[in-house]
Amino acid sequence: MRIGIVGLGLIGGSLGLDLRQLGHQVFGVARRSSTGDRAVVRGAVDAASCDLKLLSPTEVIYICTPIAAIVPTLEELLPHLQAETIITDVGSVKVAVVEQATALGVNFVGGHPMAGTAQQGIEAAMSGLFCHAPYVLTPMADTPRATTETVAELARALGAIVYTCTPQAHDRAVARISHLPVMVSAALIDSCFREEEGTVLELAQRLASSGFRDTSRVGGGNPELGTMMARYNRRALLQTLADYRQSIAEICDYIEREDWQALEAHLETMNEKRSRFGFGRSN
C-alpha cells in the first residue's frame, strides 16, 4: 500500500518505521526539511518533503501533527487528495478533531494509538511502539465501514489491539486514564519542589527511585501535548480533576482523623480495583 504520514515526530516516525517494515511504501511530509531528511536516514519513510503534494498518490494518510494542526493540515491536504483516499489522525482527543474533519466531507476516520514515551521528535521514533497497545478508532454513523476496517487492519498489523467507540466516549475515557494522570503527575513533581529546605529537597532527589520515576513519568513528558489535552478536552478533564480533588480530600480526612482502619480499607479497595484495568495486576 502507498501510505502518507504528515508530522514525522514520535508517533508519525514510529508508524513509518513499522509500516515500512510491513512492506508498505511510506511518504512523509514534515514541517521542517531537516526532520524529513532525518526520517529518510532513520528508515521511517521512503521519501520526504515539506510539500503535501507528495501525498497525492497515497491510499491512506495518517495526520500525526500536534492536535491544533490536525484540521488545518486536513484542509491544506484537500486539493491533493483522490476521492477514495482514506485519512486518519492520531490525535489524543477526538470530538474536536472528528466533528470538524467530518464536516469537510473527506473519507476520514479518527484514530488514537494509546502508546507513547516521554520523548518527542523524529529521534524518539521507535519500531514496535504500538505492539500490544490499544488503538482506538472513532467512526461516525456515516463513516464508510471499509474506511474503518482498512485503518483497523493496518493497526492490527502493527500488533495493536483495536477498539471502536464514539468520539465522546473516547474523550471521557481518556480524560480519566490519560489526561488526568498527566496533570496529577505534573502536580506530584511540583509538590516535591515545594519542599522549603534545600538539603531535604536534594536528599529527596537523590533517594527518588522506581516509584517516583513511574509516577512522575507522564507529568514530565511533552509539555505541548499536555497543554493540548487540556485545551481540547477541557470539560471532561475538569470533571475528572473535580473527582480527583474529592478523592484526595477523602484521603486527607482519613489521615487527619487518624482513621487507619478506614485508610487501609480504602487502599485494599484500590488494590482490588486496579486489577480491573486492562493491564491487570502484574504491571
Residue 30 sits in the site that holds ligand NAP (CB under 6 A):
yes
For the CB of residue 139, give the shortest distance to ligand NAP in the complex, in Å.
18
Q: Residues 16, 113, 167, 219: which binds ligand NAP (CB under 6 A)?
A: 113
By 3-state DSSP, what share of the chain in percent is helix, strand and coil, each rounded to 5?
55, 15, 30
Residue 116 sits in the site that holds ligand NAP (CB under 6 A):
yes
E strand map for the chain: 2-6, 25-29, 47-49, 60-63, 86-89, 108-113, 134-138, 161-164
DSSP 31: S
Closer to ligand NAP by CB, 234 or 266: give it. Answer: 234
The three cell numbers of residue 264 are 487501609
Q: Residues 121, 177, 247, 257: which binds ligand NAP (CB under 6 A)?
A: 121
Q: Residues 21, 22, 32, 82: which binds ligand NAP (CB under 6 A)?
A: 32
3-state secondary structure of 191: helix
Q: Residues 58, 85, 88, 92: which binds ligand NAP (CB under 6 A)?
A: 92
CA–CA dist 248, 271 (Å, integer): 16
CA–CA dist 13, 10 (Å, integer): 5
Residue 223 sits in the site that holds ligand NAP (CB under 6 A):
no
Residue 101 sits in the site that holds ligand NAP (CB under 6 A):
no
Q: Residues 16, 28, 91, 110: which binds ligand NAP (CB under 6 A)?
A: 91
Partners of 25 in beta bridges: 2
66-85 footprint of ligand NAP as x/- string (CB under 6 A): xx-x---x------------
Q: Residues 15, 17, 18, 35: which binds ligand NAP (CB under 6 A)?
A: 35
For the CB of residue 170, give the shortest distance to ligand NAP in the complex, in Å.
12
DSSP 43: T
Q: Which stretch binds ligand NAP (CB under 6 A): 78-86, 112-120, 182-190, 242-250?
A: 112-120
CA–CA dist 45, 39 (Å, integer): 6
Q: How far is CA 17 from CA 8, 9, 43, in A?
A: 11, 12, 6
Closer to ligand NAP by CB, 52 or 86: give it. Answer: 52
Residue 185 sits in the site that holds ligand NAP (CB under 6 A):
no
Q: Residues 5, 17, 19, 64: which binds ligand NAP (CB under 6 A)?
A: 64
The three cell numbers of residue 241 are 480533576
Where does residue 155 fall: left (phi above 0), alpha (psi -120 to 50 degrees), or beta otherwise? alpha
CA–CA dist 45, 3 (Å, integer): 10
Residue 10 sits in the site that holds ligand NAP (CB under 6 A):
yes
Q: Using CB under 6 A as the criterion, which residues of the chain lie in contact with ligand NAP when the complex forms?
A: 7-12, 30-32, 35, 64-67, 69, 73, 90-92, 112-113, 116, 120-122, 222, 225
